[in-house]
Structure 1
Amino acid sequence: MSLEKSLAATVSVLQSLTTISVEIEQANELISATLKAGGKLLICGNGGSAAEAQHFSTELVGRYFKNRKSLPAISLTADGTLISCICNDYGWESAFSRQVEGLGVAGDLVIVISTSGNSANILAALKAAQAMGLKSVALLGRSGGKAKGMATVDVIVPGESGRAAQEAHLFLIHHFCDKIDAEN
């Protein structure tokens, strides 16, 4: 694919986000309300989405655009020792749900990032959030997969491209951070 075609495909997906602006705003409000109330964000994903989870938590605990207080966000993908322990003892599908169970408390928000919405560990994290009465946001692609409908708010990037969904997820993370920085 040429640079021009690749760029056009990405721009098209980013422009399509206006068709899900209601869901994006609902997620934005839930993230903002959680942080304002003193809750923390528990964020997870696999592969490139794991990198996005770490990116999001870094923007909040560290710094996004302006100097502000550090905000509570944990990437459930960041501790290799913990993940290897959980996966060895309980299996890969428990990689994130065990952390939600151990770290989550009332008022926290679970955020899952998945281009397919079909990963067993993402589904288990959403089930753990439900069982604990925690709210959740799912950043999804490709029609949402099996995760569709499991979160408090689904943000499903239109289209069937996992690559484009991942690029849109990063855009959305920065969009959420813009609001967070404006409020803190």
Structure 2
Amino acid sequence: LVGRYRDDRPPFSALALHADTSSTTAIANDYGVDEVFARQVRAHGRPGDILMLLSTSGASANLLSAAYAARAAGVRVWALTGCAPNPLMAGSDEYLCVEAPTAATVQELHLVAVHMVCAAFDAAVERGSRRDGERGR
């Protein structure tokens, strides 16, 4: 979202909560691994934001904590998980559960789903830009 998917477009705010190793290490050391993402959600999440969580099992304690923190902050939770039912889908506003025989296949299908979300996002931005241009005439 900050860069682009296919075509050039304005950047949009997005954070990969796993990418800041200093924060994840400090939070894990001080608050435990289950709080690594939840604490960041409490710091950065605002009503109207979306938290997207990917979990092969749908039962990862650190992602469940993040989902609960997000919902308490007014952040919508989208989850990509493995087989249903699972606790993460139950704690999410929207979810896609992949029924697949192996964790690797679940993860591969999650990548496809993420690309589909990116394509849909870009299409929505384009539609919004066209509508804004029509209003400006």
Q: TM-score range by the shorter chain?
A: 0.7 to 0.9
Bigger Cα displacement from structure 2, 93-102 vs 148-157: 148-157
Q: Is the 8 A contact 1:141 1:161 kept in 2?
A: no
Kindly tell me: are residues 170 and 144 of structure 1, through their superposed partners in 2, closer, same or farther at Cα, counting changes over 3 Å?
Answer: farther
What residue is the counterpart of 2:3 in the other structure?
62
Counterpart of 1:88 (choices 29, 36, 40) is 29
% identical equivalent positions: 38
Q: CA deviation at 1:90?
A: 0.1
CA contact (8 A) 2:2 2:14 kept: yes
Higher relative contact order (CA 8 A, sep 6+): 1
SS in 2 for 1:139: strand
**Structure 2 CA distance for aligned equivalents of residues 124 and 78 of structure 1:** 18
- DSSP 3-state at the match of 1:75: coil
Q: 1:170 aligns with which of 73, 87, 111?
A: 111
Alignment RMSD: 1.2
Scaled by the length of structure 2, the TM-score of the pair is 0.86
The equivalent residue for 2:79 is: 138
**Contact (CA 8 Å) 2:58, 2:82: kept in 1 or not?**
yes
More helix as a share of residues: 1
Alpha-carbon displacement from aligned partner over 1:136-184 (angstroms, at most 9, x marks no partner): 1011012253212110011101234211110111001111111122232
Q: Are 2:46 and 2:74, in contact at CA under 8 Å, matched by a contact in 1?
A: no
Cα distance between partner residues in 2 of 1:69 and 1:83? 29
Q: In the alignment, which residue of structure 1 is the partner of 2:52?
A: 111
Checking the alignment, whether the CA contact within 8 Å between 1:143 and 1:159 is kept in structure 2 is no
Q: Which runs of 5+ in 2 are unaligned?
A: 126-137
The whole-number CA distance in structure 1 between the counterparts of 2:39 and 2:75 is 14
Q: What stretches of structure 1 of length at least 5 have no aligned partner?
A: 1-59
* Maintained 8 Å contact 2:78/2:94: yes
Amino acid at match of 1:89: D
SS at match of 1:172: helix
Output the TM-score relative to the length of structure 1: 0.65
